[in-house]
């Protein structure tokens, strides 16, 4: 459901270098000429299209165009062929927000051009002018002036189209931050499972996993950890082979891989896929490690499609730009801006005791910091305080941002869960409501068409939150339209 286009954007205010940044558009439901434009933010991986989730339902309801810009450095939108650490200095959420702002202005201007006479020549002229711009500030000013000129020629009283921004997870945070930093460019924002709080020691993450697992499954996971630790010390090579992870030479990488494999079941709405076989194996005296290995290979590596090399630090050190570069790129953002270091609480952990916060928060945080140093070199450290000061963390001082979270999602503890009139926050509560359930449905592997909620344990809970989203979007779009602006 997409049409691929390429936009040339500048990435440094006084730098004449440029790079191609890929974007997509879906116009099947767009009501010309004044329909809204939904900007769906792509995040920390290649952007291979506009997925058919609940946003497509919203687009049909509101007569909206859907556009999506690939995040700088990811996929086919990299400024460099080499991803050496010195070349990653322009990879940040701040730069990504400026990219979105410039793209928004560019797309609005080209949309107006397409409605005007001689549209082909006008678009070509715009590209020529764009490539002469030397700064984002100049580009934005140019697009605003250009849009006003086209509106006057078309006798278009409403000015620009109303814009609304969407994102899930890190893109959810970008969605909230975009409205915070560029309120004049959008009518509002949906920040789904938005991780707006940078966290150094994220102990709440594993606490949520334990709570979501319930007593029996939690006990089974803890027993798996104990057995894995024992076997790792006596025959680690055989153990790693059992899990299909023989390439992970660093034991901590292997244990982190095993922890993530459990997390995904709760995060993405498949808790029973993990817990049912583990609890059964524990109750019948079967080998728990074998049961967990089957789950990891069949679901985490199989159905969910995760690659073991994602956890291999040798792979993360690879600076050659290729289809697997997203792992290195996201770790760079983690190691410089947001951390989100998933560390176990000091007791009752569902994560291996070999990588936790016992002994004055040394082991697990050291694992992350050592990884950052090993992969990117000296001097790489997450500026968590700086990030939270810049954006506000959970105290974000924005407006017209709606936050949503799933009750079983461990990431919700890095999101804004308190509600206000101007920034409402809704929680979708059910047994398998996880990350981005409001837009993606349940479960999320494979992706459910149009985010259908029929397989959520409580479809009514999802429908209720979606109705609240519709009301907020409708209200904020109508407020923009009544003022004849694309934002307010």
Catalytic residues: 169, 409, 435
CA atoms of 79 and 88, how far apart (whole Å) = 9
Q: How many CB atoms lie within 10 A of CB 282?
A: 18
3-state SS track over the chain: CCEEEEEEEECCCCCCCEEEEEEEEECCCCCCCCCCEEEECCCCCCCCCCCCCHHHHHHHHHCCEEEEECCCCCCCCCCCCECCHHHHCCCCHHHHHHHHHHHHHHHHHHHHHHHCCCHHHHHHHHHHHHCCCCCHHHHHHHHHHHHHHHHHHHCCCCCCCCEEEEEECHHHHHHHHHHHHCHHHCCEEEEECCCCCCECCCHHHHHHHHHHHHHHHHHHHHHHHHHHHHHHHHHHHHHHHHCCCCCCCCHHHHHHHHHHHHHHHHHCCCHHHHHHHHHHHHHHCCCHHHHHHHHHHHHHHHHCCCCHHHHCHHHHCCCECCCCCHHHHHHHHHHHHHECCCCCCCCCCCCCHHHCCHHHHCHHHHHHHHHHHHHHCCCCCCCHHHHHHHHCHHHCCCCCEEEEEECCCHHHHHCCCCCCCCCCEEEECCCCCCCCHHHHCCCCCCCCHHHCCCCCCCHHHHHHHHHHHHHHHHHHHHHHHHHCCCCC
Those residues whose C-beta lies under 8 Å from the C-beta of residue 462, and which sit 6 or more positions away, are: 428, 430, 433, 437, 438, 441, 442, 453, 456
Q: How many CB atoms lie within 10 A of CB 305?
A: 10
Max CA pair span of the chain: 78
Beta bridge partners of 166: 40, 190
- Is omega for the bond preceding 129 within 30 degrees of 0, making it cis? no
């Amino acid at each position: 459901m997409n049409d691929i286009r390429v936009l040339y954007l500048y990435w440094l205010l006084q730098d004449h270098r440029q790079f191609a940044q890929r974007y997509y558009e879906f116009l099947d439901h767009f009501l010309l000429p004044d329909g809204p434009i939904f900007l769906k933010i792509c995040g920390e991986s290649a952007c291979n299209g506009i997925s058919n989730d609940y946003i497509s339902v919203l687009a049909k309801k509101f007569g909206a165009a859907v556009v999506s810009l690939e995040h700088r450095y990811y996929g086919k939108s990299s400024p460099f062929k080499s991803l050496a650490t010195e070349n990653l200095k322009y990879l940040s959420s701040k730069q990504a927000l400026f990219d979105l702002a410039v793209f928004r202005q560019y797309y609005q201007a080209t949309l107006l051009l397409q409605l005007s006479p001689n549209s082909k020549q006008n678009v070509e002229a715009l590209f020529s002018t764009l490539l002469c711009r030397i700064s984002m500030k100049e580009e934005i000013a140019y697009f605003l002036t250009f849009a006003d000129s086209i509106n006057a020629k078309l006798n278009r009283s409403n000015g620009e189209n109303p814009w609304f921004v969407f994102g899930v997870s890190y893109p959810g945070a970008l969605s909230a931050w975009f409205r915070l930093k560029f309120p004049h460019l959008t009518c509002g924002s949906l920040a789904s499972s938005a991780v707006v709080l940078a966290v150094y020691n994220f102990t709440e993450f594993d606490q949520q996993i334990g709570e979501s697992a319930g007593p029996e499954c939690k006990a089974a996971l803890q027993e798996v950890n104990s057995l894995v630790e024992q076997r790792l010390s006596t025959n680690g090579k055989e153990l790693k082979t059992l899990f299909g992870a023989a390439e992970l030479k660093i034991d901590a990488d292997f244990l982190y891989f095993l922890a993530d494999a459990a997390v995904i079941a709760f995060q993405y709405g498949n808790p029973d896929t993990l817990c049912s076989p583990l609890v059964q194996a524990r109750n019948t005296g079967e080998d728990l490690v074998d049961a967990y290995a089957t789950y990891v290979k069949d679901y985490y590596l199989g159905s969910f499609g995760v690659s073991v090399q994602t956890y291999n630090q040798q792979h993360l050190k690879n600076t050659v730009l290729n289809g697997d570069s997203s792992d290195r790129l996201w770790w760079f953002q983690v190691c410089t801006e947001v951390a989100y270091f998933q560390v176990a609480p000091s007791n009752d952990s569902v994560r291996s005791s070999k990588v936790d916060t016992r002994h004055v928060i040394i082991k697990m945080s050291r694992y992350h910091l050592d990884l950052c140093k090993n992969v990117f070199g000296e001097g790489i450290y997450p500026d968590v305080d700086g990030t939270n000061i810049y954006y506000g963390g959970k105290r974000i001082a924005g407006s017209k941002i709606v936050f949503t979270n799933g009750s079983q999602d461990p990431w919700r503890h890095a999101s804004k869960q308190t509600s206000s009139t101007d920034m409402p926050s809704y929680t979708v509560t059910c047994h398998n409501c996880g990350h981005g359930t409001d837009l993606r449905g349940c479960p999320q592997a494979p992706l459910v068409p149009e985010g259908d909620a029929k397989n959520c344990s409580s479809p009514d809970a999802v429908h209720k939150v979606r109705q609240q989203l519709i009301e907020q979007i409708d209200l904020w779009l109508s407020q923009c339209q009544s003022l004849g602006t694309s934002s307010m």
